[in-house]
Structure 1
Amino acid sequence: MLGFLFRRSLLALFVVFAISVITFVLSHVAVDPATGIAGDSATDADLAAIRVQYGFDQPLMTQYAGYLADLARGDLGRSYLSGEPVGQIIAERVPATALLACLSLLFALGIAIPLGVLAALHANSWLDRMALTLAVVGQAVPNFWAGLLLILLFGIKLGWLPISGSDSLAHFILPAITLGSFAMPALMRLVRAGMIEVLEADYIRTARAMGLGEGQILFKYALRNAVLPVISLTAVQFGFMLGGSIVVESIFAVQGVGYLAWQSMSRSDMPVIQAIVLLISMIYILLTLFADLANAALDPRIRSKA
């Protein structure tokens, strides 16, 4: 297990390093940082002075070495617009995004697992077809369109829920449903497929022949083995929710990291964008690593193959 953890950790560190390189290069090549600071109305003399002040006139490798040195000290730089430390700006927005992602994942799993199990137990029935239809519709509907429909129905027409902001838990209900509804179909289909495969396995037939109850067979044996691939997909979907929250947070004006990313992109505040991309990538990689470790703990065959 320690060897498995060591190999996966090395791979994760390499991926983080590669992402930092790509993000840094793109942020300095796609947009002129000096223009982002001075604005489009700045003169050539102003741009030249800013490049010297911030070190943009130095070779890209020299700038990247300084960026890594700052990262090692926990310094993510300062916002071009406000001058505040980027780490402080992002830290103020993380709780809202984390709460939104957790609620969205709970909503997705709360529907996907029971519906997937029921669809597998009644394969090829009307319940199974209804579940698959719901999965197709949920996967096809764009987040922004689903969010607008929820706003019109529950926020404006019925007036049950707030449609913008992040002041209370009620403000997160509609965004969580919007974000979770896109992750739910893939999880549900995977639970269904895994349960159908497991329920046809020899050890399940043996358990039934030994007289074990259906509930014990379902929850103690079948669901435990069927849920292994779901763990990996859940980690991926949670990372997607953190990154995909940009659209949802912008629609509902949730003061999270996603909304901050949209604001920073519209204003070319590259240090903030760069830090957000790196943060979401690191969280995504850590989630994938934890999912691999959880799968390896549940299934020793994975450790032996890795």
Structure 2
Amino acid sequence: MVYMRRRFLYLLLQVFVLLTLMFFLFRLVPGDPASLMLGGNASSAEVDALRAKLGLDEPMLLQYATYLLHMLQGNFGFSLSYNMPVLSVLADRVWPTIELMLLSTALAVLIGVPAGIWSGYKPRAAGSRALLLAWIGLLAVPNFWLGLLLVQLFAVKLNWLPAMSDGSLIGMLLPAAAIAARLIALIARMTRTVMMEVLHEDYIRTAEAKGMPVRTTIFKHALRPALPPIVTMIGLQSGYLLGGSVVVENLFSYPGMGQLLLSAQSMRDYELMQGITVFFVAGFLLMNLFVDLLYSRLDPRIRYD
């Protein structure tokens, strides 16, 4: 319980610091929300009146204090571009992004872990070395460029999958693959490295000497000790998944938080951008907290006081 309270307080501190940075950085972006809302034909008097109505004419520190007070009350503000509360806007976009992240992670785990296990068990095989080169290539390819290649192959030439996502499972496959590609390479490479180390342990040699089947040796005795670093890496990469969704969602016209963020940025919708930031920051920090708590389940030797 002491550990949980300490981690929770640390999480709140991280959220506070990041939100403070985002509040001021967003306002350094060139462009005036009032001018964008009214259009180029609006007079300076109309722009000034709207700025006063929105509180944009107040000192920056006063705006920041008001923002924090509203946040403590659970008020995320009002979206200027959508003309509705920020929470109402986010409610329609949060779940599609969560679905895309879950599918991307599932693809990465289902492909990366078995490939890493096989490569770690037979590191000198030609296929294992070919996979290693493929992982290095995936790490070097930007997800938006990979997304374009996937669209060209599976949507344009083969006509197997839709180029634009319609929210269905089939429509999510291409954006999920574009996001998951880098994580697949990282999981496979980490699994390979850890399995190569674990398979040389004395207890693994003892199990092999007793005639235990290879499948049992790998999945029962070798894989579990190898899971903590793999899970750690997945947790740390959750931030990349959220960040990668911003570009990929726009590429595939996927109706999620990433597309919403760029739309809010183009309209200088400060309140909406800050609400999306809260979602991304909280998601990343909660994922890391979940990974820490999962350690004790994966490795009984780990205990939190």
Structures share fold, TM-score greater than 0.5? yes
State the distance in 2 between where 1:114 and 1:12 align.
Answer: 34
Q: Which range is displaced more, 257-266 or 245-254?
A: 257-266
> Superposition pairs for residues 41-190 of structure 1, below 5 Å?
42-190=42-190
Q: CA deviation at 1:15?
A: 0.5
State the distance in 2 between where 1:22 and 1:244 align.
Answer: 21
Residue 11 (structure 2) pairs with residue 15 (structure 1): no
Tell me the SS of whatever aligns to 2:27.
Answer: helix
Q: CA deviation at 1:303?
A: 3.7
Q: Which range is displaced more, 142-151 or 33-42?
A: 33-42
Q: CA deviation at 1:163?
A: 0.9
Contact 1:36–1:80 at 8 Å: present in 2 too? no
Q: Which runs of 5+ in 1 are unaligned?
A: none
Q: Which range is displaced more, 283-292 or 45-54?
A: 45-54
Cα distance change of structure 1 residues 25 and 40 upon mapping to structure 2, 3 Å threshold:
farther
Amino acid at match of 1:18: V
Amino acid at match of 2:238: F
Q: CA deviation at 1:208?
A: 3.1
Deviations 1:266-306 (A, max 9, x none): 222222122112210110000011111111443355546x8
Paired position in structure 1 for 2:4: 5
State the distance in 2 between where 1:30 and 1:300 align.
Answer: 49
State the distance in 1 between where 2:124 and 2:40 align.
Answer: 61
Cα distance change of structure 1 residues 4 and 40 upon mapping to structure 2, 3 Å threshold:
farther
Q: CA deviation at 1:237?
A: 2.5
Paired position in structure 2 for 1:220: 220
Residue correspondences, number: 304
Tell me the SS of whatever aligns to 2:78.
Answer: coil
Contact 2:163–2:252 at 8 Å: present in 1 too? yes
Amino acid at match of 2:222: A
State the distance in 1 between where 2:246 and 2:78 align.
Answer: 21
State the distance in 1 between where 2:208 and 2:155 align.
Answer: 50
Cα distance change of structure 1 residues 114 and 242 upon mapping to structure 2, 3 Å threshold:
same
Q: CA deviation at 1:73?
A: 2.5
Q: Which range is displaced more, 59-68 or 218-227?
A: 59-68
Deviations 1:36-82 (A, max 9, x none): 54455554433432332222233333222221222223221111123
Q: CA RMSD for the aligned pairs? A: 2.0
Q: Which range is displaced more, 221-230 or 196-205?
A: 196-205
Amino acid at match of 1:11: Y
State the distance in 2 between where 1:41 and 1:197 align.
Answer: 68
Paired position in structure 1 for 2:240: 240
Paired position in structure 2 for 1:198: 198
TM-score by length of 1: 0.91
Contact 1:143–1:178 at 8 Å: present in 2 too? yes
TM-score by length of 2: 0.92
Contact 1:5–1:293 at 8 Å: present in 2 too? no
Paired position in structure 2 for 1:252: 252
Deviations 1:125-164 (A, max 9, x none): 2122011011011111221221111111211122111111
State the distance in 2 between where 1:33 and 1:225 align.
Answer: 53
Q: Which range is displaced more, 145-154 or 57-66?
A: 57-66
More helix by share: 1
Q: CA deviation at 1:188?
A: 0.8
Contact 1:78–1:85 at 8 Å: present in 2 too? yes
State the distance in 2 between where 1:41 and 1:286 align.
Answer: 46
Tell me the SS of whatever aligns to 1:29.
Answer: coil
Paired position in structure 1 for 2:295: 295
Amino acid at match of 2:15: V
Contact 1:36–1:269 at 8 Å: present in 2 too? no
